[in-house]
Structure 1
Amino acid sequence: MGWKAIARSAVGTSHQKQKIPIPCQDCGNYRIFKDVIVGAVADGAGSAKYSHFGAELAVETVIKCFADIDKQGFSQPLSEMEAKEVFTKFVKDVITALNKKADNNDYSVHDLACTLLVFIATPEWVAAMQIGDGFMVVSSQDAEYQLLFEPDKGEFFNETTFVTSANALEEMQVQVISGKKEFICASTDGLEKVAIRLSDWKPHAPFFKPLEEYLRETDKPEDDEKYVIDFLNSERLNSRTDDDKTLLLCLFGKEI
C-alpha cells in the first residue's frame, strides 16, 4: 500500500494566441514522505506581470516547508486549529519568499500574485487549505466525490483572493477530514467549469472517474504521463476552457 501521484500543467489556448505567448501561470507539485503526502497547486494572477514565477515559488516553498517539519506529529489527525497553525506557517513562509524575490528583482510583490491550495494527507485523514479559486475533490472507493471548499470568487466577476492580498490569512479556508480518502484531486480554476457543477458546487463524477481509474491502473504515474498530458491538451477540453490547466492527482492504494 502507498501513495501514487502526478502533477502536470498545460498552457491555456488564450495564452497561446497572444502575439507574445504568455507562459503557463499555473504550478502544481507534491512530495511523498512514507505514508504522508503533501501537495500544492498555485495559479498566477492573469493581471500580475510575473505571476508564473510567483506560482512556482509558492509551490516550491510549501513543499520545502513541509519537508522541514517533524512528521512524527502526523500519526494522529490534526485538529482544525492545529491544521490552521500549520497552514498559516506555510502561507507566511510563502509570503516571505515572494517578498524576497520581489525585493531582489526590484518589482512589486503583487507582480507575483497567485492563489494557493495545499493538502496534507495520510491513509486515515486529510487536512486541506485554500486561498482563492481552484478546487480540491476527495473520495474513498465507491463513494461520491466531495468538494472540500467552494472557490473564492470575490465580490465581482473574475475576482479572487491571492496569497499576496492583505486579507489572505483571513480568507484562508481550512478543513480536516477524518476517515480514509483514497483519491485526491487538486486543480486550478481553468478546469472548474468542466469538473464542478457551478449551480450547486457538486463535483461532476464523469470528469473524475477516468482520472481515478488511470491512477488505479498505472504503477508509476510520473513515468506514464501521456494520459494526463493528452487530456490537458485535448481539443475537447480546450473547446470548453481557454485558461491554463493544472491537475494534481493522488491515490492511496495497492501497488500493482
Structure 2
Amino acid sequence: MNRAMHPFLLPPEPDAPFPPAELALAEPDGLLAVGGDLSPVRLLNAYAGGIFPWFSEGQPLLWWSPDPRMVFRTDGVRLSSRFRRELRASAWTVTADTAFAEVMRACATAPRPGQDGTWITAGMQRAYGELHRLGYAHSVEVFDGAQLVGGIYGVAIGRMFFGESMFSGRSGGSKVALAALARALCGWGWPLIDAQVENPHLLRMGATHLPRDTFLARVRALVQEAEKEPAGSWTRRFGRWPASALAASAAV
C-alpha cells in the first residue's frame, strides 16, 4: 500500500488496534484509516490514540488525526468584554449531563456556513449515546428557564476532554457552554480540550495549534490517568450554576 495515497483499512474486530496517528496522510490532512464501526471499544481506542471519526452520510467511516491539532487550554478560553457585560444580567443556567441526547440532536441540526448536511448521523447519535450511558461522553447544557439555548458535547478519558460539537439556540449559547466546560475542567486539573480542526470562531475564543507529535504526547499521558478520573456522570460534580458567573474574567 502506498502511504502517500491511501489510508489504512481497519479490520472488522472492534478491539483491533489503530495504526499510529503519526502515519496519517498529509493530503487530505490527517486521514488515517477507513472502515470499522462505532462500537464503544473502537471509539475509546481511537480517542485515546488522538484519532476521531468524521464522515458524511453515505461515506465509509473515516478516521482522522490532523497536523497541527486545534486545542484550548482550559485556562485560556476568551470571552469578549462586551459579551461578559451582557452575561452579568443573564438569567441562563449551566448544567452537565442532564440533556445529552438533546444537545447532540441540536448540534446535528444546527446550520453551519459552508456545510450541506451533518456528520452527526443517526448512527453517530446512537454510538455516542452509548458512550454517554457508559460515562465517557458528556454534555454541558445552557438553559433559559426550561429551554435549551446552547450546549457542547464530547468524550472524556482520564484527564483529557475531546470536544466534538457545540451549538447555539440563542446568540452566545455555545460560547457559554464552552467557557463553562473549560472553567469546570480547569478547576478539576484537566489542562486541555481537543477542538480537532481550525475554525475562525474557535480562534477568536482562544484556541491554539499544537503540532501533532506534541498533541499526541500530551494525550497519551493524560488518558493514562483514568484511575484518578473514572468514567461516570458529571451532573453532581459539575453542579448547576448561573451563566453570569462567567462574567468575572476574560479567560473563563
Name the TM-score, length of structure 2 as normaliser: 0.26
